[in-house]
Structure 1
Amino acid sequence: MNEALWAYRTSYRTPTHSIPYALVYGVEVMLPLERQIASLRIAIQEGLTQEENAPLRLEELDSLDERRLDAQQRLECYQSRISKSYNKKFHQCSFQVSDMILSIRRPIITHKKGKKFEPKWDGPYVIQEVYTNGSYKMVDQDGVRVGPINGRYLKRYYP
């Protein structure tokens, strides 16, 4: 578990263009291998005295807020791009009162055995009420009320 967390916290994240460890502590992570095999960064850091190291650390901490803000802006841009991409493929159907529709059969089971030709849609239903948030209340042919149900689980029925 600890190794998995270490791997997650020290790996590069595309949305923020940074490493989570660096956003929390303000410095790049020092890998255990760098401690065992002397690296240039270790040599420079160990060669500094306490008085020389303190201003460098304060400078890193001062730039931390700017790095976090930059990461936040990059994350918001990334989320915007992802939502644009999703919204290109997804289109919300809108239905009116008295439209005939089908509703996806629930629960949605992806691994069925032996029921290959069973219908995936229930209905037809008639829209009785339309809510502002994209939900609909329906009535089946026997007058039984169904819903409210989200519009993304519905499709138009053509008799």
Structure 2
Amino acid sequence: MAEALWAYRTTYKTPTKATPYSLVFDVEAVLPLKIELPSLRVAIQNDLTQEQNILLRMEELDALDELRLQAQQNLEIYLGRMTKSFDHMVRPRTFQEGELILVLRRPIIPHRKFGGKFVSNWEGPFFVEKVYQGGAYQLIELNGQRPMHPINGQHLKKYHA
């Protein structure tokens, strides 16, 4: 378990453009291999006195807030790109009153019967009773009953008989 946590904490993450370890301690972790084969960082730290090492560490900790702020900005940019990419792939669905449509069963409507993976993900058909602004629709069953509250159009698709 400890090895898995070490691997996760020292792995570069694209959204933040940093490792979780560096966001906590403001320095990259010294890998055990670098202690055996000394790196410049290890050599510099070994040559410092205790007071110099404390001062260096305090300076690094002062810069930590800036590093975390940069990681937060990188994360927001990343999420913006992901949202834009998703929105580019989404096709808006519009329906007219009186149209027959199907409703996505998950997560809106709980399963009414058991059947595992062979049960359809769509339930219906339903009539569109009313169209609201913003892409919401009030549905009625074929017998005139209202089975649910208004529902977002992204959970609907046209019914082709």
Same fold (TM over 0.5): yes
Query: Partner letter of residue 91 of structure 1?
Result: R
2:157 alignment partner, one of 152, 155, 158: 155
Change (3 A) 1:120 1:43: closer
2: CA distance, partners of 1:58 / 1:122? 62
1:71 corresponds to which residue?
71
Change (3 A) 1:133 1:4: farther
**Residue by residue, what CA displacement relative to the aligned partner does 1:54-93 show, whole Å, maximum 9, x if unpaired?**
2211211111111111111111111101110110011232
Change (3 A) 1:66 1:152: same
Which structure 1 residue ranges, 4+ long, deviate > 4 Å from structure 2? 129-135
2:81 corresponds to which residue?
81
Q: Report how far residue 44 of structure 1 moved.
A: 1.5
- TM-score relative to the length of structure 2: 0.78
2: CA distance, partners of 1:37 / 1:101? 67
Whether 2:31 is the aligned partner of 1:59: answer: no
2: CA distance, partners of 1:137 / 1:3? 53
2:129 corresponds to which residue?
128
Q: How does 1:3-82 map to 2 (within 5 A)?
A: 3-82=3-82
Change (3 A) 1:158 1:21: same
CA RMSD across the alignment: 2.7
Matched position secondary structure for 1:147: coil
Residue ranges of structure 2 left out of the alignment (5+ in a row): none
2: CA distance, partners of 1:20 / 1:86? 26
Change (3 A) 1:56 1:120: closer
Matched position secondary structure for 1:70: helix
Q: How many residues align?
A: 153
Query: Partner letter of residue 98 of structure 1?
Result: G
- TM-score relative to the length of structure 1: 0.79
2: CA distance, partners of 1:156 / 1:65? 52
